[in-house]
Amino acid sequence: MVVLGVDPGITHLGLGVVAVEGKGTLRARLLHGEVVRTSHREAAQERVGRIHARVKEALLRFQPQALAVEEQYFYRQNELAYKVGWALGAVLVAAFEAGVPVYAYGPMQVKRALAGHGHATKEEVALMVRGMLGLKEPPGPSHLADALAIALTHAFHARLQAAKPL
Amino acid sequence: MVVLGVDPGITHLGLGVVAVEGKGTLRARLLHGEVVRTSHREAAQERVGRIHARVKEALLRFQPQALAVEEQYFYRQNELAYKVGWALGAVLVAAFEAGVPVYAYGPMQVKRALAGHGHATKEEVALMVRGMLGLKEPPGPSHLADALAIALTHAFHARLQAAKPL
Ligand SMILES: [Mg+2]
């Protein structure tokens, strides 16, 4: 199964594509990773338009069976939530156009799926991602690491038929 | 000048297209009005995908010179701000694809532009929109009225070379 993980953000959006293999122990391969960067000096439609184009390119190139994003509940700043929403809107348009279903998992679900317990640190999660993908280095930058963690979290849930549609 | 006004929302998104005519007193014609409705029972990408498709259709059909949205500052609920953001993300993608610039005005700017003072009621604004568009009835439903008010607000600002890019 190929999963596109997205860490949504308006200035930095992490995009990671993994191929999950076999049964038994979950093993996966990193197919692609990038961070889409936009600046507040660009017009809003340029920023969101580029995010849309890059997500769509990844969907068409890697033909994932699912797109997974981290659920957002923790914002204090409404304006930030609003602008992250713009980015996710662009992601959703691309998924709709490509006919790919979208799933969402909260931070606790990521920690539980990857490290086995909900109070794991970022570092523990990154270590598990590194191990599962057989990488020599911990995945980076952090937004890409988040995107890969989300993709793998979906893979775990999909195997248990416990996928969570957004 | 043709302006597409959008009242962004995830369950109800108002879309109004006006053609602004001549010099002197601002006069305008209503070319098109609709409210795009989506339900929480639909998948997120269906909702946002439909919003994108309808906005894009209006952009291609009416070839506006500008798309104008109401600026959002006033949300108490982050989740709402986040989901309104999804809708605006879809709008921005459509604007980007169509090459149409996007502008945003706050509620006070709408009231000042249309009613002449910042403490005007919703009804006063609706009355002005009705008058400017030469409608027999006040514009409705309310989301469409808001979209038309935004479109006309942009028209006023554009005449004064005071347009506000998002
Ligand atoms: Mg991140």
**Could you read off the pLDDT of B21-57 as tens digits, one per residue?**
766 666 788 888 888 888 888 877 788 888 899 888 9
Mean pLDDT for B10-23 is: 80
Domains and CATH numbers, chain A: 2-159 (3.30.420.10)
Give per-residue pLDDT as tens, A86-134.
878 888 888 888 878 888 888 888 899 888 898 999 889 888 888 888 8
Would you say B32 is a known binding-site residue? no
Known catalytic membership, residue B7: yes
Nearest to B45 among A49, A73, A92 (CB): A92
Amino acid A74: pLDDT: 43
Three-class secondary structure assignment of chain A: CEEEEEECCCCEEEEEEEEEECCCCCEEEEEEEEEEECCCCCCHHHHHHHHHHHHHHHHHHHCCCEEEEECCCCCCCHHHHHHHHHHHHHHHHHHHHHCCCEEEECHHHHHHHHHCCCCCCHHHHHHHHHHHHCCCCCCCCHHHHHHHHHHHHHHHHHHCCCCCEC
Amino acid A111: pLDDT: 92
Whole-model pTM: value is 0.76
Known catalytic membership, residue A7: yes
Amino acid B111: pLDDT: 92
Provide the ipTM.
0.71
Would you say B143 is a known binding-site residue? yes
- Is the model's pLDDT at B74 over the cut of 50? no
- Rounded to the nearest whole angstrom, what is the distance from the C-alpha of residue A109 to the centroid of ligand 1? 16
More confident residue, B38 or A9: B38
Mean pLDDT for B61-90 is: 73
Active-site residue, selected from the candidate residues B70, B146, B154, B157: B70
Least confident residue range of A20-29, A135-144, B104-113, B135-144:
A20-29
Mutation for testing the B interface, residue in A82, A84, A100, A164 having most B CBs under 10 Å: A82
Nearest to B82 among A82, A93, A97 (CB): A82
- Rounded to the nearest whole angstrom, what is the distance from the C-alpha of residue A75 to the centroid of ligand 1? 13
